[in-house]
Amino acid sequence: MNYPTLENIQNALMLISPYVHRTPVITSELLNQLFECHLFFKCENMQKAGAFKYRGATHAVLCLTDAEKLKGVATHSSGNHAAALSKAASLRGIPAYIVMPKNAPKVKIEAVRAYGGIITFCEPSLQARESELQKVIEKTGAILVHPYDNFNVVCGQGTACLEIAEQMEVPDIVMAPVGGGGLLSGTAISAKNIWPNIRVIGAEPFNASDAIQSFKNKKLIPVQNPNTIADGLRTSLSPFTYSIILNFVDDILPCSETAIVDAMALIFQYLKVVVEPSSAVPLSIIIENKDYFKDKKVAIILSGGNVDLADLPF
């Protein structure tokens, strides 16, 4: 399989830099005291369209040839990639056709509409998403920009870690949440190339632990309708991200739903930033595995901030 290289990701960063936020890396002495380690949070919740997804979507759209972009782009997504692709498509003045599960958070559906995405709703299963998307593509002739099973998208997601390298001292561990695996794949390739001694860890809700199962059994095992508050992580790995993760990631750890809510509250309270539940999953892992991280410098990607503020779980 043809994996992105560090050079591919560096080129992606050059290409998307004029269009994306260089998000801050923030720290909290109180959180560091609480967990006896040094935590550095990369605020992709403050990225345009509210999530790291805008990096990958923008890169994919900018890589389209003039011929390819004629009919627009299409994807399925539980929300953040949908909003990101809609906004990225508007950069080049082309339509974005979006298939969304009907149980996607309202705030994410509204964001897609605000950026001009054209929505088709479907049942909340991977099969339903994919078959509905196939129909949309047949009808419109749009180019598929898959949320993570896509070379250019993974290159874009890897750019957040390149920025981290310029924004903090050398970390011991880099941690990112894993849903479909796009962020974790891109991050792992960047991190392993930049810091030879880095440990790359995926963070996954126990209730949606297809990546953990796939990683342990060395076999791609999809998940069916997982029940987790981390709505961005309900998807399964693709063959592409699975293969990258198997080669570049050191471990994937699970966390409980309670820990996700606790971590989310800690992030709001101590970091003063708004995050969606998926963003809180890496800190949840630290809550439940304090010894593992003791005295370590840990870079954590806060993946997104698109949460319904009228319905916070804490």
Q: Which residues bind a second copy (CB under 8 A)?
A: 21, 24, 26-27, 29-30, 43, 45-46, 48, 50, 114, 265, 268-269, 271-275, 305, 309-310, 312, 314
Burial annotation 293-305 (CB, 10 A radius, 16+ → b, else e): beebbbbbbbbbb
- With respect to a second copy, which residue has the nearer C-beta, 24 or 239? 24
Of 238, 291, 295, 286, whose CA–CA distance to 260 is shortest? Answer: 286
- Rounded to 10 deg, the angle between the 239-248 and 182-194 helix axes is 30
Least distance from a second copy to the Cβ atom of residue 24, Å = 4
- With respect to a second copy, which residue has the nearer C-beta, 50 or 72? 50
- With respect to a second copy, which residue has the nearer C-beta, 119 or 265? 265
- With respect to a second copy, which residue has the nearer C-beta, 110 or 250? 110
Least distance from a second copy to the Cβ atom of residue 150, Å = 25
d(CA 263, CA 84): 25
Secondary structure element (H or E) that encloses residue 272, with its range: none
Least distance from a second copy to the Cβ atom of residue 113, Å = 13
- With respect to a second copy, which residue has the nearer C-beta, 200 or 266? 266
Per the rule left: phi > 0, alpha: psi between -120 and 50, beta: everything else, 117 is beta
Least distance from a second copy to the Cβ atom of residue 99, Å = 24
2: which 2 tokens?
């043809």
235: which 2 tokens?
């998807």
Least distance from a second copy to the Cβ atom of residue 53, Å = 14
> Beta 38-43 vs 118-122: how paired, if at all?
unpaired
